[in-house]
Structure 1
Amino acid sequence: MRENATPCTFAPASPADLEALLPYYRQAAARPDCPWSQDYPDQATLEADQAEGRLFCAKDPDGQVMGAYVLTFGDEDTEAQTFWTKGLEPAGEVVRLLTAAPYENQGLGGRLLADAVAWLARMGCRSCRILVAKDNRRALRAYEGQGFVYVGLARLYGTDFACFEKPLEGETI
């Protein structure tokens, strides 16, 4: 964790957190290296993620949302890729990882990812998977720096994704 990082807590998102999250996702979608759009993720997607207990937030000491991620399991499109390490299943996937613009470059993305990995390990997963737009150099460096291993390239949803996996506690690739 970087020294200048704003203190935060991590917890499952509440319905009240959704109002803060959607504008942050829209800001991120405006970046050329982001595969999201002004239509995705939408309010209904976030509401479903929150209702299913898959959406997690980082909040500052005042309770302001700083970032978020979603955990998924068994996505057909992701699972259909043949390069995943079969010995590392069950696997969980981190999707829609977001650091709100005011909190970028403070190490929050790495802390969000570490929290997601810890949740997956507690849930019994043997590995964590991540798909990142292949042109998102900042995210590519971040995932490699967190111990994720590039395993292949997938064309999904009209985007080329670099696919990474990380063995969890005691596992090896």
Structure 2
Amino acid sequence: MEHSTRKMITFRRINLGEGLLYKEVRLASLRDSPEAFSSTLVDAMLRSDDSWHAQADQSARGSDRATFLATDERPVGLAALYRDERFEHTTELIQMWVSPEQRSRGLSRKLLSFAVNWAQANGYRTIRAEVMPDNLRALRFYERYGFVRSGEVSKHTEAGVILMLDVEQAGALFYESS
């Protein structure tokens, strides 16, 4: 009889008081994939613990932002959304990352499903994501799950690809009871 050594992965919204947990996963994402984010590892490392706690607490409640975690004994993935005030009924997927050892196991899809369900429950019609054009894996992932290229120019870099997801149409694809 075979025994699996894989740990159970849990998915959830970040809780109040989990600033240091958020810091841990965010620093891991910036170490692993610095080219995928507009933030830098150095800037993130210079932030105070109080600022990490404040951001986690804001992401734990309300409808302006949310952060979802994938954890085993430690964080192995995250998806974070933030209301984009420039566009009505739009939230921006500002962070999406899964640790290298957990990739190709469905964690990204599950994190994205949490993001879509949260967006739908909070009245958002569109999820916007920005991806660097050389990040083909991310582009394929988002397009496979219904994101379409908008053709607009990135607010962070002139090279970023802006993708949009219609939350209503995506709801059936991502519906999962939690």
TM-score bracket, normalised by the shorter chain, equals: 0.7 to 0.9
TM-score norm. by structure 2 comes to 0.72
Give ranges in structure 2 of 5+ residues lacking alignment. Answer: 1-5, 60-65, 171-178
What does 1:159-170 align with in structure 2 at a 5 Å threshold?
A: 159-169=158-168
Q: Aligned partner of 1:66: which letter?
A: V
Alpha carbons of 1:170 and 1:98: their partners in 2 closer, same or farther (altered >3 Å)?
closer
Instruction: Determine which structure has the larger strand proportion and give its number.
Output: 1
Contact 1:5 1:108 in 2 (8 A): no
Between stretches 67-76 and 42-51, larger displacement belongs to 42-51
Alpha carbons of 1:97 and 1:41: their partners in 2 closer, same or farther (altered >3 Å)?
farther
Q: Identity, % of aligned pairs? A: 21
The separation in 1 between residues aligned to 2:30 and 2:12, in whole angstroms, is 22
Residue of structure 2 equivalent to 1:107:
106
Contact 2:19 2:54 in 1 (8 A): no
Query: Relative contact order (alpha carbons < 8 A, sep ≥ 6): 1 or 2 greater?
Result: 1
Give ranges in structure 1 of 5+ residues lacking alignment. Answer: 80-88
The separation in 2 between residues aligned to 1:133 and 1:46, in whole angstroms, is 26
Alpha carbons of 1:107 and 1:39: their partners in 2 closer, same or farther (altered >3 Å)?
same
What does 1:1-173 align with in structure 2 at a 5 Å threshold?
A: 7-13=9-15, 14-30=18-34, 32=35, 35-41=38-44, 43=47, 46-53=52-59, 54-60=66-72, 62=73, 64-76=74-86, 79=87, 89-169=88-168
Q: Aligned partner of 1:9: which letter?
A: F
Residue of structure 1 equivalent to 2:176:
none
Contact 1:126 1:168 in 2 (8 A): yes
Structure 1 segments, 4+ long, off by >6 Å, are none
Q: Aligned partner of 2:124: which letter?
A: C
The separation in 2 between residues aligned to 1:120 and 1:39, in whole angstroms, is 31
